[in-house]
Amino acid sequence: MIDFTLSDNDRDILEQIRREGLVARKHARYYDDHEEELPPMALPEAAEFPSLPERVLKRPTTDTGVATFGMLMGIARSWGDTVPLRFNRTALGNAALNAAGTPEQKERWGKTMLAMAITEPGCGSDSKAIKTTAKRDGDHWVLDGEKIFVTTGIRAEGVVVWATIDPSAGRAGIKSFVVMKGTPGFEITRKEKKLGIRSSDTAALSFTHCKIPRDHLLGGDENVPKQGSGGFRGVMKTFNMTRPGVAAGGIGKARASLDFTVEALEREGVRIDWERGRAARSAVEAKLIQMEADTEAATLATLRAAWLADVNSDNNLEASISKSKGGEVARSVPQGCIEVLGALGASRQYLLEKWLRDGRISDIYEGTGQIQRLIIARTIFGYTSEELS
Amino acid sequence: MISFELTESQAMVRDVVRGLAKNELRERARACDEASRCPEELLERSWQLGLVSAGIPEALGGGRAGENGEGGEPTTHAIVLEELGYGCASLGAMVMAPLQLVRPLLDFGTEAQKKEYLPLFTAERYRVASIALHEPWFGFDPSQLRTTAVRQGDHYVLRGEKHLVPMADRSSHFLVIARENEPGLSGLSAFIVPRDAPGLSVHGEIEQTIGFQAMPWGRLTLNDLRAPLAWRLGGEQGIDGRRLLASLRVGGAALCVGLARAVTELATSYAKERVAFGEPIAKKQAIAFMIADMHTEVESMRWLVWKAASELERGVDATRSSVIAQDYVARKTMKIADDGIQVFGGHGFIRDYPLELWFRNARVLTVHEGPVCV
């Protein structure tokens, strides 16, 4: 049955996340201004809030599916700030571990915070062009290469690195490897300075004759076919869940901007009259309604992508649809809100200008909006990536 | 619990209507548009599917088991309308036109009114009644109607002019929407006015619009029309104007989703066939991205419509969600119809191809608080 309602328990959880977010907002400006400092794993006020993960784990199965609800939690969290009340001990590398690791590997690194290193100075979305190599040396792999734009690369305890074991094999040669901090030859070369999401650390890494045990290859040693692209696909599948998640992050920024704008305008006596016809709407009303609609559309597209995962259906296409919509509103809505509010909307007295900067990345990382459109178009036309690139 | 799952019966009715839409409505859309007429037998054949009577309680001869308001009606309605829009929005609106009176009756009618009027729409033959909402002034706004209803003792006096009344040429009754109290949607009243009421003049089939050519739009003049209290929908209680308008917005938006989906499909197959510079134009990013966006928007707009419909179903105020759905769906449908023509290039402009017809229909359908009332 078509339904968009939430249980009282779920509404209560989201409400707590928003209360936590309001606390996080108090610290937002500081960590935006002091990019060189890593925010603590937990903000001082964290102790005032009951632990949510346990409560989320205990949700009844009759409530909204866990992936779908995860999107609502992601939107609510991002609505607060990029500085979380508590940092998760998982990062993107953990998602890869869960999608492609062997049971033994999941057991070994399940509690380790793992970043993910794909991008290189010479390639981003075109990940099959990566140059980092992994060469077998007895019971070891030897990694050589450079990685950039590694989210939480500084904070994480280890990193999942994409490298090719056979540059002539294209994407079939690409495998992922777990490298722990402190491994000789593995160095953090830089912490990036960014337009937004400054409290989230972004690292550049280098691997110089970096030797790791053979069983650090994600998916296990026996899974090293020269033919086929099972390994690559395995990791790409990770994106079917992380892309809606990134969309949710962007939507949170749009939602926060809109809420701020609607409240600010109401204080000035400007409010949307939902009953009046189109011709009677002021330009500001029309713009607000348009932004509300865009944000809601992106939200529902994201819930839909996650819901498909909840009911065990393929969501490759829908993940890209949601990411494309989420990235779009993260750019257009905070920007439109400043436009509506005038000069004070751009002031650093408020967080709105920060949300515009924070949201801008949503249409870039985890595949730009253009990459999402390529995936969508290939799926619709039934084309391979060679046929439409 | 958030779910995008259709019930079994919703999936069944969707498939049935999809068949009608593809095999009948789509096939005849061009001919009906050129002739400015919909063949009687098409309306009769569609009527036999029971789409209109499905919402009427069994006790009154319809197909709905259980109490009024049960059975997931607004979401099912949205699903049905999307399929009809996928066939041809114009013909689909004619097929569903009787619901213009039936649905408000189900929503707001007194028991006596339901008993009197609903059985009319469970008969063997197609029968229609229309909403008379629109008025001939630019920037039309339902919250500021100029048609008035003034209470005088045991009756009302209706005065005003209505236009773009769908199927006015053959409607047995008109649901005349008038302003009884102060401006705003809560000041609206509705009256079930029989065609032969003294004071009512019906000018059938006089208005032409850019699209929906097969639909005969008429004009009504209400010249101090005397309406007994029994005609006032909902009796003393009246109607919920916000709900009525929300419901009309959702209906129009649902037709749009189907229309946009059809245009996207047409553009997709054309782009794969049409070769330029040695390969299908679908392999050019400029075209591929356009079609990817069309597909993305069709999906997104459908969920907005479903959400608003589900609020109607739960009986909560769907004003905000329906305005949002209408705003989004109207913008994106027009863009998709427009881009569809662009994908077809010169052929998009030629009447031998479907796109120009879909474009014209989209323009009528995406008018806010538009004249297509389903």
Query: Do A185 and A99 sit in the same domain of this protein?
Result: yes
Q: Is residue A159 part of a domain?
A: yes
Q: Is residue B372 part of a domain?
A: no
Query: Do A291 and A361 sit in the same domain of this protein?
Result: yes
For the record, the structure tokens of B86 come out as 């996928």
Q: Is residue A337 part of a domain?
A: yes
Q: What is the DSSP string of A65-116?
A: -HHHHHHHHHHHHHHH-SS-SB--S--HHHHHHHHH--HHHHHHHTTS-EEE
Selected catalytic residue, list A20, A285, A353, A366: A366
Q: Which residues of B touch A294 (CB under 8 A)?
A: 328
Query: Do A165 and A125 sit in the same domain of this protein?
Result: yes
Using CA atoms, how far residue B341 sits from A91, B31, B338, in Å, is 45, 20, 5
Query: Do A58 and A106 sit in the same domain of this protein?
Result: no
**What domain range is B98 assigned to?**
8-122
Q: Is residue A105 part of a domain?
A: yes
Contact (CB, 8 A) for A253 and A355:
yes
Q: Which residues of chain A from 305 to 344 reach within 8 Å of chain B, CB to CB?
A: 307, 311, 318, 321, 324-325
Query: Do A225 and A158 sit in the same domain of this protein?
Result: yes
Average pLDDT score, chain A: 93
Cβ contact A290–B331 (<8 Å): yes
Residue A354 sits in a domain whose CATH number is: 1.20.140.10
* Pairing status of strand A174-180 against strand A158-164: antiparallel
Task: Tell me which amino acid residue A347 is.
Answer: S
Q: Is B236 exposed, middle or buried (0-12, 13-18, 19+ CB in 10 A)?
A: exposed
Q: Is residue A141 part of a domain?
A: yes
Mean pLDDT, 10 residues at a time, over chain B (374 residues)? 95 95 95 93 92 89 64 85 97 95 95 96 94 95 96 96 94 97 92 97 87 94 97 96 96 97 98 97 98 98 98 96 97 98 97 96 92 86
Q: What does the pLDDT read at residue B373?
A: 86
Query: Do B203 and B284 sit in the same domain of this protein?
Result: no
Cβ contact B288–A289 (<8 Å): no
Q: Which residues of B touch A277 (CB under 8 A)?
A: 139-144, 368-369
Q: Name the closest residue on chain A to residue B308, using Cα atoms.
A: A4
In angstroms, what separates the C-alpha of A250 from chain B's closest C-alpha?
16
Mean pLDDT of A318-330: 98
Write the residue in A62, A277, A377 that is nearest to B139 by C-beta: A277
**Which of B237, B265, B284 finishes a domain?**
B237
For the record, the structure tokens of A90 come out as 């998982």
**Which of B65, B95, B122 finishes a domain?**
B122
Query: Do A212 and A242 sit in the same domain of this protein?
Result: no
Q: Distance between CA A52 and CA A48 in Å, rounded?
A: 12
Mean pLDDT of A133-138: 95
For the record, the structure tokens of B214 come out as 């097969």
Q: Is residue B194 part of a domain?
A: yes
Query: Do B161 and B251 sit in the same domain of this protein?
Result: no
Q: Distance between CA B91 and CA B213 in Å, rounded?
A: 9
Query: Do A145 and A23 sit in the same domain of this protein?
Result: no
Q: Is residue A184 part of a domain?
A: yes
**Which of A60, A80, A100 finishes a domain?**
A80
Cβ contact A293–B72 (<8 Å): no
Q: Is residue B2 part of a domain?
A: no
In angstroms, what separates the C-alpha of B125 from chain A's closest C-alpha?
32
Q: Is residue B370 part of a domain?
A: no
Query: Do B27 and B115 sit in the same domain of this protein?
Result: yes
Q: Is residue A178 part of a domain?
A: yes
**Chain A to chain B Cβ contacts (< 8 Å):** 157
Using CA atoms, how far residue A196 sits from A75, A316, A369, in Å, is 17, 28, 18
Query: Do A103 and A160 sit in the same domain of this protein?
Result: yes
Q: Distance between CA B240 and CA B220 in Å, rounded?
A: 23
pTM: 0.94
**What domain range is A305 assigned to?**
237-381
**Which of A80, A103, A135 finishes a domain?**
A80
* Structure confidence at residue A228 as a pLDDT band (50, 70, 90): very low
Q: How many domains does chain B have?
A: 3
**Can you give chain B as a three-state secondary structure string?**
CCECCCCHHHHHHHHHHHHHHHHHHHHHHHHHHHHCCCCHHHHHHHHCCCCCHHHCEHHHCCCECCCCCCCCHHHHHHHHHHHHHHHHHHHHHHHCCCHHHHHHHHHHCCHHHHHHHHHHHHCCCCCCCEEECCCCCCCCCHHHCCCEEEEECCEEEEEEEEEEEECCCCCCEEEEEEECCCCCHHHEEEEEEECCCCCEEEEEEEECCCCCCCCCEEEEEEEEEEEEHHHECCHHHCCCHHHHHHHHHHHHHHHHHHHHHHHHHHHHHHHHHCEECCEEHHHCHHHHHHHHHHHHHHHHHHHHHHHHHHHHHHCCCCHHHHHHHHHHHHHHHHHHHHHHHHHHHHHHHCCCCCHHHHHHHHHHHCCCCCCCCC
If DSSP codes are grouped into helix, strand and coil, which group holds residue A120?
strand
Q: Is residue B374 part of a domain?
A: no
Query: Do B226 and B169 sit in the same domain of this protein?
Result: yes
If DSSP codes are grouped into helix, strand and coil, which group holds residue A275?
coil
In angstroms, what separates the C-alpha of B148 from chain A's closest C-alpha?
18
Cβ contact A376–B295 (<8 Å): yes
* Structure confidence at residue A223 as a pLDDT band (50, 70, 90): low
Q: Is residue B3 part of a domain?
A: no
Interface test with B, best of A1, A2, A9 (most B CBs within 10 A): A2
Q: Distance between CA A302 and CA A172 in Å, rounded?
A: 30
Q: What is the DSSP string of A183-224?
A: -TTEEEEEE---SS-TTS-EEEEEEEEEEEEGGGBTT-GGG-
Q: Which residues of B touch A65 (CB under 8 A)?
A: 1-2
pLDDT tens-digit series, residues A273-293: 999 988 889 999 999 999 999
Query: Do A242 and A373 sit in the same domain of this protein?
Result: yes
- The answer to whether residue A146 is catalytic is no
Residue whose pair of structure tokens reads 């009176």 in the numeric block:
B101
Q: Is residue A272 part of a domain?
A: yes
Residue A208 sits in a domain whose CATH number is: 2.40.110.10
Q: Which residues of A touch B300 (CB under 8 A)?
A: 297-298, 300-301, 321, 325
Q: What does the pLDDT read at residue B372?
A: 87
Q: Which residues of B touch A323 (CB under 8 A)?
A: none
In angstroms, what separates the C-alpha of A226 from chain B's closest C-alpha?
30
Write the residue in B3, B300, B320 that is nearest to A274 by C-beta: B320
Query: Do B94 and B48 sit in the same domain of this protein?
Result: yes
C-alpha A371: how far from chain center = 15
Query: Do A24 and A106 sit in the same domain of this protein?
Result: no
Q: How many domains does chain A have?
A: 3
Query: Do B272 and B357 sit in the same domain of this protein?
Result: yes
Query: Do A337 and A283 sit in the same domain of this protein?
Result: yes
pLDDT at position A200 over 90: yes
* Pairing status of strand A114-117 against strand A158-164: parallel
Query: Do A377 and A244 sit in the same domain of this protein?
Result: yes
* CA-based torsion, B251, B256, B261, B263: positive or negative: positive
Query: Do B227 and B283 sit in the same domain of this protein?
Result: no
**Which of B122, B144, B159 finishes a domain?**
B122
Q: Is residue A1 part of a domain?
A: no
Cβ contact B293–A296 (<8 Å): no
**Which of A80, A107, A133 finishes a domain?**
A80
Residue B285 sits in a domain whose CATH number is: 1.20.140.10
